[in-house]
Every structure is written in C-alpha cells, then in structure tokens.
Structure 1
C-alpha cells in the first residue's frame, strides 16, 4: 500500500483520493455556510446581531476543534481511522442540520435545537479531520520526494478553493430558485452539502488499499504534558544544585527520552513562530470569500513561480502578510471615497422629508433640531439619522409627504432603485423598461423597484382616462430616485430627485484589494500548510497542523474584539488592521530570521536506539549528553 505511483511520476496514486475527498468536504462546509446567516435571519427569525454572533462562534469552534482531532489521530486512532470516524460525525451533523430546516418538523424550539446540535457536530467533524487530511496526504510521499510533497500541498489547496467556489455559487441558487414547503428551500440547500460529505467519505474509504498508514505514536499529548511538567519541577527543585543546562526542557532528560525532548523543542519553536500569525487571518476573514476562493483557484499555480523567486517558506509567508496589508490599504481608499449611504445604527432609522407644497415648510421633531431649516417648494432633505421613538410632527401634515427609510445598500449595485409619488387625482400605472409601478391617486407612493442602469426615455404612464410619455433620462448605478408626478394644464409633469447619489467609484477599484489579498493568501496559506508538516516530528504532525489552524480561530477572535468593541468607522478600522499587520509582519520577519530549519526525519538517524536511549552510558559511567537541535542537520535560515 502507498507504493503505487501515478504514471511516470513520483506522486502516489493515493493522493488522488485525498484531493477529491478534500474538494467534496470543502464544498460541503462552505456550501452550508453560504446560506447559514440567511437561515438564521429569515428562517429562525433571529436578529442580525444574534445571527452574526452565532455564525462567528461556529466558525471559531471549527478552528479550535482541530487540536482534538490531532490528539486523537496522533495518540490513539491514527490519521486514517480518525478521518473516517469524524467524517461520520460530520455527516450526521449535516443530516441533523437539514432536518432542522424542514418546516413540518416540530415547533420553532425544535428547529433551533436541531440546528445548534447539527452545527456542533459539523464543527467537531470538520475541525477534527482538518489537520489529519493534510498531514495524511503528506505521509503518502517518500522521504526523498520533498519537492513533490511541496507541490502536493499546492494541489491540495487548489482543491479547497475549487470546492469553495462551486459551493458558494450553487447552494444560494438552490435556496432561492428552488421552492419547497411553500418557501425558500433551506432543507435542500443544507441537504446537498450533506450529500457531498457522504461522497467525500466514500471516496476516502475507496482509497484504503493504496494508502501508506502511519500507526499512532501513543498518547502523545499526555507524554508531552508530563515531560514539560517534570522539566519545570526538576528545574525549580534542583536549579541551585545542578549545573545550568542549555534549554529548560533538558531538565527532563533524567526521566524522559532525549528524542521526545527534542521533538517538543521543535514543536515549541514553531508554535512560538505562529504567535503573530492570527493577525493575517483577522484581515483575510473580513473579505468576501467567494471572490477570494475563485481568484485563489485561478492563481494557486503562482505559488510555484513564487517558490523560485523567494527561497524559504517563512520569506513567502512574510511577503503574503505584506500583500494582505496592501489589500486593506486599497480597501481604505475605496471606503473613504464611496458614495453609498451607511445603514443606520441600532435603534435609529433614516428619515427623509419631501415638501410637495408651493411654499416653504418647516418640519419639527419635538425636542430636536433636525431639519431646522425650512424646506423650499419641491425640495428634498438629505438622509439624516433620528431615533425611531420620536413622534413625527410638522406644520402642514396634510400637504407634506414624509417617509422613514432604512437602507442597507451594497457598494457596487448593478441596479438603480426607483419609486413614484403620484399627486394626480387618478391612479397611475408606470412602465419603466420591463418593470411595472403602481401609484395610487392623491399622494400615493409606488413600491421601490430595482431597474438596470440605462437611459429611460419614453416611459409610459397610464391613467384611467389618458396615457402620457415622460423622459426620465439616465438612471445610474446604485442610485435611489424618487419621481413626483403632477397633473398640469399641459399634461403630466414630473420632477426627478436623486435621493441617494449614484456610485462614484468604478467597480474596477475593487480589483486591487482582491488581487492583493488573494496573492497574499496563496503565498501564506499554502506555505504554512507545507511548513507545518515539514517541521513537525512524525509523532506530532497532526498536532502541529492543528496549531496552524488555530491561528485562524484566534484571527476571528481579534475581529470580534476590534470590530465589535472599537466602534470605529469602516475606513479607520481597515487602516488600523493594515497597520497592525505591517507591524506584525516585521515582528514575524525578525523571528523568522533567527529560526533555523530542521529536518525532522533526521531524528531517526540521531536516535537509532530510541527506546534504550535513556539507558545508554558512556565509558566513564556518565549518561550521554542530550543531542540539541544545533547538532541536527539544518537548512538555510528563513
């Protein structure tokens, strides 16, 4: 098993099953997440704050649980059986989540319980197998095929992005375009990812006879904790009596094998290097994932080109962090110059007042000075924030049209929004392109309808007694228009007002930020996966993969602390994150400069007599000195 190669290469056939498994699993995970927030808001009827909190809590749990999966794999079951057993838990979670989205299954409490239970099972499933699958793929390669293994991690990463791209496109379509149980089909949107996870499990099992399976090394975590504890106690009790030692872990050599001590040192050195990394994920997780996964899928092969120009994985990771910071600088420029209206803060709404009289009108809110200046005839105020619990009052209530508007408006909408106010004494039907508007007589207002950008000349307005044509002119990207229709002696007249300005930033300005963040993530993530595998001893490869994944979880925590707690404007927040990442990348670069690469496979050569190592004594009756990391074969710094 594990010896069969793809034709004419050093790539094992077994990795094909692992790559397909990862594609299906990522499709399953991101497909479910693509509609999760919508499910909370529109199906469970939670508010946005609760929905966001639960979403981030679930995401964080998915990246904290890899440590559990890694311990199970390295200590008891091995990577192969861990992936199988936790994939079954994963599938059960998806099924429970899908059942919870069926309207006829119990009351609202049952839906919430099933949904939360499903998410917990999914979190343990996806988190548990995540460090095992990548490490298991690396295990399939022979020791001398390091270049092939490095390219495998690029292919592995491409499968992640391919699954992510397709799922984030397909599952929202399934939810919105397919109707079931009288509404949006969340059960199907969650059911398809469940089916893909079943396929992932079947494909992984199908390759069983081809895999190279490394046996578990025993209860690694317990041994590591005991070794660390003994070293600390021994140093505390004997530091004054015994000579100094080169490393504090060397105080454990009286009881524990030197190989275990050296392996713990290796893992600690890498974990310390990971301390600055969550800041990268704090930036990355704020971007629009669908676009990033798509560009990552297209550009993953640039990793091979970058590998030629930047020798050393830590250099590539530092460069990736700088690129991510540049992405947020580009996002800051767009945010500062945008023309969209911000959604109102909590417990406030947007208020806009129209004066449809032939004379000035004063509008007053008791106890407040908003709209303090009189409104001229046919004038519209700008959108202003007011608390929702204020009673509306004005001097000419019967002649003033006032409306409360709450808007959540995206940066580069390809549609314009339009509505009509009819001051005519007859009902009017208006046709704008392919859209139909209806405005009742005597100050009736039509519904807000989105229309594509374009010139709208010859718009048809029909009453019961006549038909009129009006020229609205250009309805531009992202704008919000109100058209006031009036009956005059010469026919139907209109006044077009631009309530919200058209987008003044071309969508192409978003390209640099996505290119930068994607290029940065390709350099950072693929390299980090391979680095975590290559620098880990055989007994702790899954554990170190879990440590790498936990940097993502801590990145989400940083976002929650800064974004939710700081209360800054969006552009200020972007600039803060960019500055923090630049500072962190400098710190990381300094740490990386002093890091010396180690070949973990050389441990087998250095400690040939591992089980008897602590019993070997030199000719003068003293135990051999511990072999330090400085005695091991090294590679170039950074």
Structure 2
C-alpha cells in the first residue's frame, strides 16, 4: 500500500507539472477567490450562464410539439418525429463541440462562438413563428434552419461548459470542485423548472397576431440566451483558460481503426493470436493508451442497451404533451396548459435527489443489500417502463371521449332534430336509427355508414307526425356528418353538414351556431370577430375558444341585442348551439354536445411523471457517475461523448417507431414499455458478467517495473 500511494502521488505531480503537452500551464494567473474560500469568483458567471442557457433550451423545447401541431399544422406523428429528430441532433452535436474545443479553439472560444450560433438560431426560430412573415413554406424553412443552429449551439457547448467550470479550480481543491458540479446541476434543473412553466404561459395566455404567441414563447428564450452569452463574456478576465490539448476522442477512434485494419491485414498470415483485439494496435500506439481504451470499450459495450431508456424518457415533451391536450386541466380554478406538465420532471428531480441520497440508499445499505450501480440503473429502467404502462392506461381512458375514426369506405352520421315532433330517419339501404329521434336534445349517437366507394349519393327519408320527406345527399368516405332535420311551411326538410373529426387542439373548446330565425344574427364571442349566421337554419363554422364559462354572449338581430348563456364550454368538447325565438320575442340558445368533453383529469398523469423521474434519478445520475468511475482521467471525455450519444440514439428510436409503426397511441406506449423491460433483462445479464475496476490501479500496474511486487498491485474486481 505504501508503494501504491507513492505512485499515485508521483502521478499527481506529473499531472500538475510543467508539461504543456498535457495542457497544464502553472504560470497562468489564478482566478480571484470568493472571500475566505477556495471558490473562484469566475464560477458565478459560469453557473448563471448555465441557468440562462438551460432556461433558453427547455423553454423553447416545451412548446415545440404544439408549435409543430398548431402553427405548422403537422399531424401528431410528424410533430413527434420532428421533435425527436431535433432532440437527437442536440445530442449528436456535442461530439462536434468537443472536437472543436480540444483540437482548435479551446473551451472558452468554443463556448463564445457556438453561443453566437445558438442566439442566431433562436432569433431565426422566433421570426419563423410570426404569422405575417411569409407563407407556410417560409415558416417551415425558417423553423428548420433555426432548430439546426440551436442544435449545433446547445450541443456544441454542452461538453465544454461544465468542464470549463471544473478548470477554474486548482488541483488540490477537489472538494470545492465537487460542490461546484452539484450547484451546476442545480442550475440546470432550476432553469428547466422555471422555463417549462413560464413559456407555455407566454404561448397561451399572451395573444398576438390573433392567436397563440409562439413568437414570444420563442423570443424570451432567445433573450435569455443573449443574457447567458453576455454574462459569460463579462467574466472573461477572471477565467483560467487552457489552450487546446488535442482531441483524445479522435485519437481513440484512430487507435481502434488501426487495430481493426491491422487485424484484417494479417488475418491470413500465421501470426500468434493476441489476447485482445485492441492489442493489434501495439505496433503504433503505446501500451498505456491501448489499456485505457480497453477499459473504455468495456463500458461502451455496456452502453449498447441504454438508448431504449431515453427513447421513453424524452417522450415527455412529445407524446405525453399530446396526451395532456385530451385531458381536463382544471385544478380548482388553476388551469394548466398541456405543455406545462413538463415542469413536474425537473421539480421531482430536485425533490428526489436528496430523498434518494439521504434516505432511500442509506436505508437499503442498512438492509445489507448490495445495491450496485448496475442494479440501480436496471431499477430505473423498470420504473420508466411502469411509467409508460401507466401512460397507456391513462390514454385508453382519455380516448373514451374522442371521435370515432372512420376508415376508407366508411362515414359516421348523427341526427339533429330541430322539428317540433319526434322524427323517424331512414337512409337508403341502411337501418341505422331504430327509434324516433327526440327533438331539441343532444344529438343521437354517431352511426356508421358503409359506402360502396369514396363517395355515394344516398336517399334520406324523414317521417314525423304524418309528414314525409325524402332528400338525396352526397356522402364522402372518412367523414363525419350531422343531418339537420327541421320543419318549414308545413314541409319536412333536411340538409347534411360536416362535423369536426377530432377534438379541438390544445384542450380548447369549439362551438358552432344554427340560426332558426328568419333574419341574420351576429354573435360576439371571445376576442375574435363576430360570428355572422345567416337566417333560416343556416350553420356557422366552428369557432375555437379557450375553455371557460360564457354566460353573457351578445347576439345582435334586426330586432335588438340579446344576451346568450352558453354556460361552460369544456376542455376538448365541440358544441352546436341552436338559436331560437322565445314567447317573449327574445332569443335563447340551446346547446348540444357533438364531441364529449375531456373527462380524465390531468392529475392522472402524475403517477407516470413520478415513475419516470424516479427512474431518471436511478438511471441517469447513477449511470453517469458509474461510467466516470470506470474510466481513466484521460478518457472521461470519451465516455461523456458515448453517454450523450445514447440519448441521441434513443430519440432516433422514437422517430423510427412513430413513422414506421403507426399504432394506436396506447398500443405504442405498451410497445415501448415491453421493449424497455426486454432491454432491462439484457442489460442486467450484461451487468452480471461485468466486473468493476479502479482505473488508477490499472494505470499504476502498467507503470510499475516488472518485479516481484507487481502481483500485489492487481486490482480487486467486484461483481456489478
């Protein structure tokens, strides 16, 4: 043990010596410290920078799915695909940032230049969200350019900022450096928590250009990124800036490439086999480098199943947000936006970390259970799978109020009886309505029509109190209709109108009006223009409104102005309001519900957020710490890149499933849960055969002279 300690001290001295090739320059001026501490003042600028940058990133990302869905008018699958394509790109670009920083510009300049790219991307994204700027094609082009620049900016600085903060501490101040990383992680979650709550408010509660203000929701994160850049530059004179020291990731790739090429080149020659395939690089690369790469590849091999966890985790901002639009978000007067539920994840992370570290893990240790990092990560996977099982149950219940989905050669129809008597309706070749339709009540349930082609002309027969009438109507496949039946001058009349096929977006309400009066009416509702409805049973288009009570709607007619009481227009519901005369020569509104309101409360998403957040604490934080513990100091950046790539590939899995396997949403949730459970089993088996090592012991063994004392330095391996 004495000899080991001596070697470690020698290694430390070598690490902080005068060798510029190692990136160490003791002659650099030291950063000024906070009074009476070993904390450099410069870290305050870095922490504030990280808070603003994470606010910027997560704030923009919180409203991104609804922006695709409601502003660019993409469908749910395409919106999900683009969301995860962007998320994946954000975790591929750190490799580019690390390459630029280590081989060319250094961390400081890389952060500056890529932050400028980041700001430009935000500005372009905000401009693309202004409805008056160009047409739909221009909006899409600007959005894609903006997102590409944001991905390069946020991903490029990701591997640099935390490492740059660590560079501000002197080698002997490891305790202070450790606390800095805790504060750094706190800044990340604080920025995420605040932004995911605030930016949906900016989107939905602030109106601009006649609708949701996506330009502002993207513009505020852009302003925060400008502040992040200004704050970081303000601390320039206090930073310790190490110049580029060469890219170890590139060197690792070159070494692996040489080993593979050398092995293939000598495959046919009678050369003795080597213990490990990386030993074929020994002709060109030093033994220490090869040994360290062997350690890294063992961990990277263990990373192979990990993308499946991230495939589930990152759907909080896509599929789970879309699920929230089909739920009731009224918390006793406080109405949450669908995209605001994402704030639960960073909030729960901040709560769970101390609970797990100070309560759960010590309790498990007291029970004498060896809760290794591999086991913690496996439990994290199980929790994430259970979260998606819970999400599938919620999805099934939420879909009970959705419209039927007509298939090719199918259509759905309901009857709105505005006559004074019950009406019996028959459709040519279809006996859909066995009982007479009551007057002035909620419409009959939708019934399915089977057509003989994409369009069919059908004869509708109505009978009421001795009156008979027949009317031909053209019916299109994959459509939803209402048959309006009414009496006029002793005749039974009807006409067919198209209904909404899906629930109103963003959990809003939709309402249309039928005017039974013999003169036009103008109805002032919401903040938009008045709705003009022509006379004699004409029907207006649907108007989309925020959920709320509409008790004093103004209705103007040629005889005067009258108030209408529509009552509560609830989440996700579509209504037909019939305007009629009363005996006192005023008008009244009779409301009928075409699409049922969302009846599953948003609070039912809480269990899935609790499970996925607990899974993240066990999986993500543990996995990152474990991978760092298994790599030598020179290879930690390589494992950092490998870890970030698992997140990128997880998002790739989602966009592949979203496009290649169109399933019912609940079935897709079940599929992801099943896949993760299967991957968890594979990962657990791989972890069972994995043995942990101390990288420092391995390094010392390589550096020891070949004598009898070497045997005593073989690292103790521990089953994970």
Contact 2:503 2:574 in 1 (8 A): no
Stretch of structure 1 that moved more, 347-356 or 26-35: 347-356
Deviation, structure 1 residue 389: 5.8
Distance 1:206 1:8 in 2: 23
Q: Is contact 1:91-1:197 (8 Å) kept? A: yes
Match of 1:547 in 2: 642
CA positional deviation for 1:286:
1.6
Q: 2:445 aligns with which of 369, 376, 382?
A: 382
Give the equivalent residue in structure 2 for 1:266: 295
- For structure 1, the 5+ residue unaligned runs are 610-615
Larger mean Cα displacement after TM superposition, 240-249 or 53-62: 240-249
Q: Does 1:306 align with 2:356?
A: yes
- Out of 340, 363, 378, the residue aligned to residue 401 of structure 2 is 340
**Structure 2 match to 1:423:** 516
The verdict on how the C-alpha distance between 1:136 and 1:193 changes in structure 2, with shifts beyond 3 A counting, is: same
- Shift, 1:481, TM fit: 4.0
The 5-angstrom pairing of residues 588-603 of structure 1 reads: 588-600=683-695
The partner residue of 1:405 within 465, 486, 499 is: 499
Is the aligned partner of 1:321 residue 2:416?
Answer: no
Deviations 1:490-527 (CA, angstroms, capped at 9, x unpaired): 98887654333344433332211122122222333333
Q: Is 2:680 aligned against 1:585?
A: yes
1:60 is aligned to 2:88: yes
**Alignment map for 1:172-183 (pairs within 5 Å):** 172=200, 174=202
Distance verdict in 2 for CA 1:261–1:74, change over 3 Å = farther
1:442 counterpart (521, 530, 536) = 536
* Superposition deviation, residue 552 in structure 1: 1.6
Tell me if 1:196 matches 2:224: yes
* Alpha carbons of structure 1 residues 432 and 104: separation in structure 2 relative to 1, 3 Å: closer
Aligned partner of residue 246 in structure 2, secondary structure: coil
For 1:104-139, what per-residue CA distance to the aligned partner results, in whole angstroms no more than 9, with x for missing partners? 877776665554433322222221111222343445
Give the corresponding residue for 1:132.
Answer: 160
* Alpha-carbon shift at residue 260 of structure 1 (Å): 0.9
Distance 1:304 1:39, change over 3 A: closer
State the alpha-carbon separation in 2 of the partners of residues 210 and 632 from structure 1.
43
- CA offset digits 1:39-90 (Å, max 9, x no partner): 6567667677665544443332222111222233344444333323322332
With over 3 angstroms needed to count, the CA separation of the structure-2 counterparts of 1:105 and 1:342, relative to structure 1, is closer
Comparing 433-442 and 67-76, the one that deviates more: 433-442
Matching residue of 1:612: none
Structure 1 residues 187 and 299 mapped into 2: Cα distance closer, same or farther (>3 Å)?
closer
The alpha-carbon deviation at position 224 of structure 1 amounts to 2.2
- Separation in 2, partners of 1:433, 1:195: 31
Q: CA deviation at 1:575?
A: 1.5
TM-score by length of 1: 0.79
Which moved further from structure 2: 175-184 or 294-303? 175-184
Structural mapping, 1:48-447, within 5 Å: 53-98=81-126, 113-140=141-168, 152-172=180-200, 174=202, 188-211=216-239, 213=241, 216-236=244-264, 237=266, 241=270, 243-287=272-316, 288=321, 290-297=340-347, 299-308=349-358, 309-310=360-361, 312-338=372-398, 339-342=400-403, 344=405, 352-357=414-419, 358=421, 360-362=423-425, 364=427, 371=432, 376-378=437-439, 380-383=443-446, 390=455, 393-395=458-460, 396-397=470-471, 399-400=493-494, 402-409=496-503, 413=507, 418-425=511-518, 440-445=534-539
TM-aligned CA deviation for residue 330 of structure 1: 1.5
1:505-556 CA distance string (max 9 Å, x none)? 3333221112212222233333344444444433343332222112122111
- Do the aligned partners of 2:80 and 2:655 also contact (CA within 8 Å) in 1? no
- Decide whether aligned partners of structure 1 residues 272 and 555 sit closer, same or farther in structure 2, where only a CA change above 3 A counts: same
Q: Compute the RMSD of aligned alpha carbons.
A: 4.7
Q: Distance in 2 between matches of 1:173 and 1:346?
A: 37
**CA deviation digits over 1:255-293, x for unaligned, max 9?**
311221122122212211211111111111222474334
Query: Could you tell me how far apart the structure 1 residues matched to 2:640 and 2:662 are?
Result: 34
SS in 2 for 1:255: coil
- Check whether the contact 2:192–2:346 (CA below 8 A) recurs between aligned residues: no
For 2:151 and 2:215, locate their aligned partners in 1 and report how far apart those are by CA, in whole Å: 19
Q: Secondary structure at the match of 1:376?
A: coil
SS in 1 for 2:498: strand
With over 3 angstroms needed to count, the CA separation of the structure-2 counterparts of 1:111 and 1:416, relative to structure 1, is: closer
Deviations 1:418-455 (CA, angstroms, capped at 9, x unpaired): 55434344566789999998765422345546575679
Distance 1:571 1:591 in 2: 30
8 Å contact from structure 1 (residues 411, 503) kept in 2: no
TM-score, length-scaled by structure 2: 0.71
SS at the partner of 1:85?
helix
| Structure 1 residue aligned with 2:20 | none
Secondary structure of 2:401's aligned partner? coil
**Is this contact kept in 2: 1:428–1:441, CA < 8 A?**
yes
The correspondence for 1:482, drawn from 558, 572, 576, is: 576
Map Cα deviations across residues 161-184 of structure 1 (whole Å, 9 max, x no partner): 332343344445555666778887
Q: For 1:93 and 1:430, how far apart are their aligned partners in 2?
A: 43
Deviation at 1:97, TM superposition (A): 3.9
Q: Is the 8 A contact 1:340 1:503 kept in 2?
A: yes
Q: How many residues align?
A: 621
